[in-house]
């Protein structure tokens, strides 16, 4: 990590909580302002020997003088550098949304004739893009239970270029053994990308476990306030260079400076926020297991979770998302939507306020996943007819439990 301010060069040895606040942040040389500046300019002046009409015409656009915001911007670049410090990555590309990061990754690294493997349970937008859009461009896609390394091994082909996982996956909170899968894929010269949105670098750092690429929807926990969209792709400089040229310059995935500034502001409280809501989620999950209307609680921090030992191995905390099966989905869903005092009935996760939403197996099957009989059986084993997904916020867990007790009466 490079620091322009000699007073901050020692920061590389500090703990991640401190890095989240100080990495790459220096006082403004003209005003001595401590908070990072926001640079809104799209264009930057340059000398004739520094510029090019295309991002491809520059050897490394991140090392060049700032030229055009579609390639890189001072505020966005600072966000990228600060995220690299937390994820132990060499480089990063911040994007306009989490889906911009995913689509930019796939379209930059894959071409006609290549083979992609994705998890059979993942974010709906990822599943739909991979299964409905990529085949139009001649990219073969396999839907596999990536939580089983043997299943992935059996699905590998000579043209497999990338395996994409979520851990924990949305919404069933299954885990993937990143280290084990990475070892397998490196032996076959296949890249591994890990969507770590549910974990954040507070909980799991996939690159340190062998993943080649890490994806985050910055909209969620890293921003943490539900007021801005963003995404990021992190990895080695060699991998990020073509992705930046394609996704940033050609696909128009660039993040705005104002959004980057807001995300950085949220990121500075990431560690205390995540620790607080993870502690609350564990307390609430334990309480939910004792409730008569709750048939099953899916949460990696519970001993009842079938991957509890793996969770302890690769997660520093167990996350802020809980999924639960209930005995009367229609009734409980309606109560969450109309009677909740604290939980907002809304999509998304990772906000400062707690959110809840019902996710029905039949709805997912018809609109998103289009299960094979085997996949549906496996999904139903965890989800039953569906789950209520809770995203725990920063409220007192006692107040959240009181609200849940009313809704689950």
Range of the domain at 243: 36-267
Is 1 a member of any domain? Answer: no
Is 91 a member of any domain? Answer: yes
Of the three residues 267, 293, 308, the one that is the final residue of a domain is 267
Q: Report the mean per-residue pLDDT for the chain.
A: 91
Residues 222 and 278 in one domain: no
d(CA 363, CA 158): 35
Please state the rounded mean pLDDT for residues 66-80: 88
Is 322 a member of any domain? Answer: yes
* CA 114 and chain centroid, separation: 24
In the chain, % of residues over pLDDT 70: 90
Residues 286 and 238 in one domain: no
**What's the predicted TM-score (pTM) here?**
0.91
Nearest to 89 by CA among 23, 184, 160, 174: 23
Residues 93 and 53 in one domain: yes
Residues 182 and 313 in one domain: no
The per-residue pLDDT for range 279-318, each reduced to its tens digit, is 999 999 999 999 999 999 999 999 999 999 999 999 999 9
Residues 289 and 365 in one domain: yes
Nearest to 166 by CA among 366, 390, 319, 395: 319
Q: Is 114 helix (H, G, I), strand (E, B) or coil?
A: coil
CA dihedral of residues 337, 342, 343, 345 (deg, nearest 10):
40
* CA 21 and chain centroid, separation: 20
Task: With beta carbons less than 8 A apart as the criterion, state whether 344 and 355 touch.
Answer: yes
Instruction: Give the E-state strand segments of 100-252 in sequence order.
Output: 115-119, 140-144, 160-166, 191-195, 213-217, 231-235
Count of the separate structural domains present in the chain: 2
Residues 318 and 282 in one domain: yes
Token digits of residue 18? 């401190």
Three-class SS of 286-311? HHHCCCCCEEEEECCCCCCCCCHHHH
Count CB neighbours of 159 within 10 A. 11
Residues 79 and 196 in one domain: yes
Q: In which band, very low, low, confident or very high, does the pLDDT at 21 lie, cut at 50, 70 and 90?
A: confident
Residues 113 and 124 in one domain: yes
Please state the rounded mean pLDDT for residues 122-145: 95
Residues 248 and 308 in one domain: no
Of the three residues 267, 287, 313, the one that is the final residue of a domain is 267
Residues 275 and 253 in one domain: no
Q: How many residues does the chain have?
A: 409
Bond prior to 103 in cis (omega within 30° of 0): no
Of the three residues 236, 252, 267, the one that is the final residue of a domain is 267
Task: With beta carbons less than 8 A apart as the criterion, state whether 232 and 215 touch.
Answer: yes
Is 74 a member of any domain? Answer: yes
Is 22 a member of any domain? Answer: no
Is 61 a member of any domain? Answer: yes
């Amino acid at each position: 990590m490079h620091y322009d301010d000699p007073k901050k060069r020692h920061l590389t040895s500090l703990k991640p909580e401190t890095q989240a606040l100080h990495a790459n942040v220096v006082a403004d040389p003209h005003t001595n302002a401590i908070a990072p500046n926001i640079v809104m300019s799209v264009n930057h002046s340059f000398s004739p020997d520094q510029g090019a009409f295309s991002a491809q015409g520059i050897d490394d656009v991140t090392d060049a003088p700032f030229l055009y915001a579609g390639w890189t911007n001072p505020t966005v670049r600072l966000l990228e550098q600060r995220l690299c410090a937390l994820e132990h990555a060499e480089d990063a590309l911040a994007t306009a949304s989490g889906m911009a990061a995913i689509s930019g990754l796939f379209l930059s690294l894959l071409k006609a004739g290549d083979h992609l493997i994705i998890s059979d349970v993942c974010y709906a937008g990822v599943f739909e893009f991979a299964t409905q859009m990529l085949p139009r461009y001649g990219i073969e896609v396999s839907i596999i239970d990536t939580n089983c390394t043997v299943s992935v091994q059996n699905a590998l082909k000579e043209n497999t270029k990338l395996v994409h996982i979520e851990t924990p996956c949305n919404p069933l909170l299954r885990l993937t053994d990143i280290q084990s899968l990475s070892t397998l894929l490196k032996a076959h010269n296949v890249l591994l990308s890990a969507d770590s949105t549910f974990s954040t670098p507070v909980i799991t750092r996939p690159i340190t476990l062998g993943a080649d690429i890490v994806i985050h929807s910055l909209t969620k926990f890293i921003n943490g306030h539900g007021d801005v969209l963003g995404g990021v792709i992190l990895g080695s400089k060699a991998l990020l260079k073509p992705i930046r040229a394609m996704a940033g310059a050609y696909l128009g995935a660039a993040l705005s400076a104002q959004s980057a500034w807001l995300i950085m502001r949220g990121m500075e409280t990431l560690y205390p926020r995540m620790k607080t809501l993870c502690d609350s989620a564990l307390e609430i999950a334990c309480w939910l297991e004792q409730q008569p209307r709750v048939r099953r609680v899916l949460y990696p921090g519970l001993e009842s979770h079938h991957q509890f030992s793996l969770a302890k191995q690769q997660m520093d905390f167990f996350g802020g998302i809980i999924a639960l099966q209930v005995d009367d989905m229609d009734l409980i869903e309606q109560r969450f939507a109309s009677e909740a005092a604290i939980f907002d009935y809304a999509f998304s996760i990772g906000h400062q306020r707690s959110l809840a939403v019902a996710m029905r197996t039949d709805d997912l099957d018809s609109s998103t996943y289009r299960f094979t009989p085997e996949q549906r059986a496996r999904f139903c084993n965890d989800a039953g007819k569906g789950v209520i997904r809770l995203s725990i916020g920063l409220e007192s867990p006692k107040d959240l439990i009181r609200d849940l007790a009313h809704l689950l009466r």
